[in-house]
Structure 1
Amino acid sequence: MIRPPRLNKGDTIGIVAPASPIDTERLQRALSFFEKMGMRVRLGRHLEKTHGYLAGTDAERLADFHAMIADTQVKAIIFARGGYGTGRLAGALDYDLIRNNPKIIWGYSDITYLHTAIRQAANLVTFHGPMAVSDIADDDFDAYSAGLFHQLQEPSSLFYTESVAPLHVISDGEVTGEIVGGNLSLLVSTLGTQYEIDTAGKILLLEDIGEAPYRIDGMLNQLMLAGKLEQATGIIVGDFAKCDPPEEKPSLTLQQVFHEYFADHEGPVVSGFKIGHCMPNFSLPFGVPATLSATKKSLVIEPGVE
């Protein structure tokens, strides 16, 4: 795997919107965050475009992303937000361009499709973390989540323990492997495509938002039948925000669903990680070795930048 170069003070960050349209007022609030980090900011040419539920046409969104990749002055690409749309770009991405111009690529949620495609087709380490408009602009964006951006400036291992939030062991064990994954619904959408998520020998991260337990059940069942859960050596269950059962209808709890799918897993499965649509939002690199320990209730991740 290719680790992108670290950020230095004065470097330029590019912001593009590969999925849903942005709120321009929120964008302005996010820009000051990067300026306080000592970074310059370059905005995508079509960043404020709207095309129905998309932030511009596929061609416009793709052009912005490719322009940032090709621009030698841009050292990192921070996505503005998720929503929907990145899967529409995967088939047209220039993976040779990405591989030959390695730089930091950062986002989550709908960006999961790009994480998966880029990691598998360009062998580039990418980063799962809060985005400019959808997260950094929030009034409750916390100092802990903000501090995790420093992993881009100094290569250092990340340590997640119960000091961040309580963790629950579903299956015992300890394993070391590359972290892959992201948003559950996006991972399921890769199945049957050339960008199908590869979990063999990997530690699989799962998170989602706004899905009832029966929907989570269905998506986990699809991953299971595709062999993706069994092939993973360990599973990190991240935050599942607003995934409560429908009111006045019988339902399994989310923890019951997780237990039914993961209790007999041969490797460690731990839930409760504040990774996903939550605050704090623990950011991490995909494609680097990590150690997940159910015994120690910990996750240790190697640096994602050079």
Structure 2
Amino acid sequence: MIRYPILEKGATIGVTAPSSGVQSQLHELVKTAGNRLEERGFNVVCGETVWTQDKAKSAPAKVRAAELNQMMADEKIDLIIPPWGGELLIEMLEYLDFHRLQDKWILGYSDISLLMLAITLKTGIATAHGTNLADLRGEYSDETTAMWQTVLSTKRNESILQHSSEKYQKEWKHDTPSPYVFHLTEETYWKTVDSNRVHIKGRLLGGCVDVIRHLVGTPYGDVRTFSEKFIEGESIIWYLENCELSTTDLRRSLVQMKLAGWFENCSGIMFGRSPANMPVDNYTAEDVYQELSEELRIPIIYDIDCGHVPPQITFVNGAYAEVESENGKGRVFQTFK
């Protein structure tokens, strides 16, 4: 059975950096985001790892793990939101005390998705793939991003509906800051491999392919045991996104997941918009999706609101979902059962 944390009004948010911390010249981003959250009624507590960054990490692996373990054990902290992702979170997995993790939300994406997938697979605690702390620093949040709070406040056996965004951000414009953080200029259009309406049901699992692929073959990536122990063999919907991989590297990664059994009993796969997907010898991301769909005989939806091209729908690892895509629009109906 999946264990769902619940976000209450006036909750305390713990900010720790299990991957990358924040360089001194960018500390103001964290402070601004913290102030915004406090204006909305939350309390914010920052760990020491947030303020340091060197050699592609906030701190040594054991230090990062110790701070996360402490925040997960602290009954005064209700939700954990890292400042952002990074590169080397995988180093600290072996030092996490999975057996003592309390039921509290972790929210984030990018390298943080590796942590969240590992926690859900090993413990059955639901985790939330969505915005990071830095992206909550705006005076306002767009409708898609703002849903994180509603989703995390959903009670057990209740449901929450989210829709595809109206527009997405094509590129960052740091020289012209937006009160919404993002510059949403491009029309969102969800696509399917066969261009038909898609309706899929199953338990959600996913994250950034660049990093979660490294869980394959480790004690933290045992999808089969998770399926048997926590969801009684129900079908799985994977949501995936590509941050930096070429199309051939993406293909290799997906084949590895397939060979490892990650796509057994899979009812469908969703791929987020990508800033990468560089074609190799005319081999495109659409080719990758087409081949995977034919091999697994499942529908594939792509260019969804997930990952490094914002905004993002909040997907809950472990939740039961019904996903629909038709005429470029999408809806995600999650039930916490």
Short-chain TM bin = 0.7 to 0.9
Q: Given the alignment, which residue of 52, 55, 74 partners 1:71?
A: 74
% identical aligned pairs: 25
Q: Given the alignment, which residue of 161, 166, 169 partners 2:189?
A: 166
| 1:150 CA drift (Å) | 2.6
Could you tell which deviates more after superposition, 122-131 or 85-94? Answer: 85-94
| 1:17 CA drift (Å) | 0.4
Which aligned pairs between 1:252-267 and structure 2 lie closer than 5 A? 252-267=283-298
- Please give the alpha-carbon distance, in whole angstroms, between the structure 2 residues aligned to 1:162 and 1:263: 28
Q: Deviations over 1:57-98 (max 9, x none)?
A: 112211211111111111100111111222112222111211
Q: Given the alignment, which residue of 45, 50, 55 partners 2:48?
A: 45
Normalised by the length of structure 1, the TM-score is 0.87
Residue of structure 1 equivalent to 2:307: 276
| 1:255 CA drift (Å) | 1.2
2:265 paired with 1:220: no
Normalised by the length of structure 2, the TM-score is 0.80
- Please give the alpha-carbon distance, in whole angstroms, between the structure 2 residues aligned to 1:224 and 1:60: 34
Residue of structure 2 equivalent to 1:2: 3
Q: Given the alignment, which residue of 25, 29, 35 partners 1:26?
A: 29
Residue of structure 1 equivalent to 2:181: none
Check whether the contact 1:128–1:285 (CA below 8 A) recurs between aligned residues: yes
Check whether the contact 1:268–1:292 (CA below 8 A) recurs between aligned residues: no
| 1:230 CA drift (Å) | 4.6
| Matched position secondary structure for 2:202 | strand
1:277 to 1:159, Cα distance in 2 relative to 1, 3 A? same
Q: Given the alignment, which residue of 85, 90, 95 partners 1:87?
A: 90
Q: Deviations over 1:76-128 (max 9, x none)?
A: 00111111222112222111211xx2111111111122112111222100000
Could you tell which deviates more after superposition, 280-289 or 143-152? Answer: 143-152
| Matched position secondary structure for 2:272 | strand
Which letter does structure 1 place at the counterpart of 2:204?
Answer: I
Structure 2 unaligned residues grouped into runs of 5+: 168-187, 228-234
Residue of structure 1 equivalent to 2:17: 17
1:43 to 1:236, Cα distance in 2 relative to 1, 3 A? same
- Please give the alpha-carbon distance, in whole angstroms, between the structure 2 residues aligned to 1:77 and 1:174: 32
Q: Deviations over 1:196-228 (max 9, x none)?
A: 251762111110212222221221222233232
- Please give the alpha-carbon distance, in whole angstroms, between the structure 2 residues aligned to 1:27 and 1:158: 29
Check whether the contact 1:14–1:74 (CA below 8 A) recurs between aligned residues: yes
2:263 paired with 1:232: no
Which letter does structure 2 place at the counterpart of 1:34?
Answer: L
Cα RMSD for the two superposed structures: 2.6
Which letter does structure 2 place at the counterpart of 1:285?
Answer: V
| 1:163 CA drift (Å) | 5.4
Corresponding pairs, count: 298
Residue of structure 1 equivalent to 2:148: 148
Which letter does structure 1 place at the counterpart of 2:152?
Answer: L
Residue of structure 1 equivalent to 2:183: none
Check whether the contact 2:66–2:96 (CA below 8 A) recurs between aligned residues: no
Residue of structure 2 equivalent to 1:193: 218
Residue of structure 1 equivalent to 2:204: 179
Q: Given the alignment, which residue of 39, 42, 46 partners 1:36?
A: 39
Check whether the contact 1:170–1:263 (CA below 8 A) recurs between aligned residues: no
1:217 to 1:283, Cα distance in 2 relative to 1, 3 A? same
Structure 1 unaligned residues grouped into runs of 5+: none
Q: Deviations over 1:150-189 (max 9, x none)?
A: 3223444123357573121225654321100111122211
